[in-house]
Amino acid sequence: MDLGITGKIAIVVGGAGNLGRAVSDRLAGEGVNLILFQRTQATLDAAAAEIRAAHGVNVTTVAGDMTKASDVERLRAVALQTGVDILVVNSARPPMPMRDVLEENEDSRWAEAYDGQLRSAILLVRAIVPILVDRGWGRVVAITSASVKQPMPHHSLSTVYRAGLTALMKHLANEIADKGVTVNCVCPASVLTKGFERDWNLADRAARVPMKRLGTTDEFSSAVAYLASVPAAFITGASLQVDGGLTGSLL
């Protein structure tokens, strides 16, 4: 299928590592030019060089912290110069280790999770989405978690604020549906990344998945790429789980 996004420009937040890097590679493979936004310039430079060599697309890097309004404003300034068509909101991981609600007694952990998973997304939406609306075409894809559909044990910080992110995206989808811009979420679970490999027992997690295996980053990033595509033009306000059937909810 031709996704119709060759030559488009995508901002990928956290686009140099883990799921964000997989999304960057997948979009670049479709001929999408990239703006990578992440904290560390050296990490960005290495990823940009590899993506350019592999796919021959333009890659711009912006080093910054998505929780800092001044850094997000610098990203907006770059996007105004280059143009932007696609925004991938890849929020930070919650503080580890994962805990139940009544075990989360440290205000600092709640604040960190709020800043990294919800407030940062609000900053990004306010800064970038008006550019898409002005251009009359755009795609916003937020990476959330399958826990927003079925809360998972010990995932309280992840579930609470990513559910808030889902609500933010649903509001936004409804508000700009007639502006040529779609807004959707992708909800991963049990997708194998370096962080997942470090933090979980892989055999145990795979056994819980109806497919009896873990997902790949390529499978996940393909879902993001589809929602960012031209053929997905009539899909907005959706939350698509990429979890091998793990989520037990009907919706």
Could you tell me the mean pLDDT of each successive run of 10 residues in the chain, 251 residues long? 97 95 98 98 98 98 97 98 98 87 93 96 98 98 95 88 97 98 96 78 90 96 98 98 94 82
Alpha-helical segments (H) within the chain? 18-29, 41-55, 69-82, 107-114, 120-135, 156-175, 194-199, 202-208, 217-227
In the DSSP assignment, the letter for residue 33 is E
Is there a domain that residue 22 lies in? yes
Is there a domain that residue 249 lies in? no
Going across the sheet that includes 33-38, the strands are 59-63, 33-38, 9-13, 86-90, 138-143, 181-188, 239-242
What tokens were used for 162? 């990513």
What per-residue confidence (pLDDT) applies to 58?
98
Is there a domain that residue 247 lies in? no
Rounded Cα–Cα distance for residues 247 and 251 (Å): 9
What per-residue confidence (pLDDT) applies to 32?
98
Is there a domain that residue 140 lies in? yes
Cβ density class 152-173: b for 16+ within 10 Å, e for less: bebbbbbbbbbbbbbebbbebb
Rounded Cα–Cα distance for residues 97 and 94 (Å): 9
Q: Which residues are 38's β-sheet partners?
A: 63
> Residue 50, exposed/middle/buried by CB under 10 A (0-12, 13-18, 19+)?
middle
What per-residue confidence (pLDDT) applies to 31?
98
Please answer whether residues 211 and 244 qualify as being in contact, where contact means their C-beta atoms are separated by less than 8 angstroms: yes
> Residue 129, exposed/middle/buried by CB under 10 A (0-12, 13-18, 19+)?
buried
Alpha-helical segments (H) within 34-68? 41-55
What per-residue confidence (pLDDT) applies to 110?
94
Is there a domain that residue 248 lies in? no
Is there a domain that residue 111 lies in? yes
Domain of residue 91 covers 9-241
Domain tally for the chain?
1
What per-residue confidence (pLDDT) applies to 60?
98
What is the distance of C-alpha 78 from the center of its chain? 20
Rounded Cα–Cα distance for residues 148 and 251 (Å): 11
What SS3 state is found at 86?
strand
CA angle 199, 50, 15 (to 5 degrees): 50
CATH code of residue 58: 3.40.50.720
Is there a domain that residue 250 lies in? no
Contacts of 138 (CB under 8 A, 6+ apart): 84, 85, 86, 87, 129, 131, 132, 180, 181, 182
Is there a domain that residue 107 lies in? yes
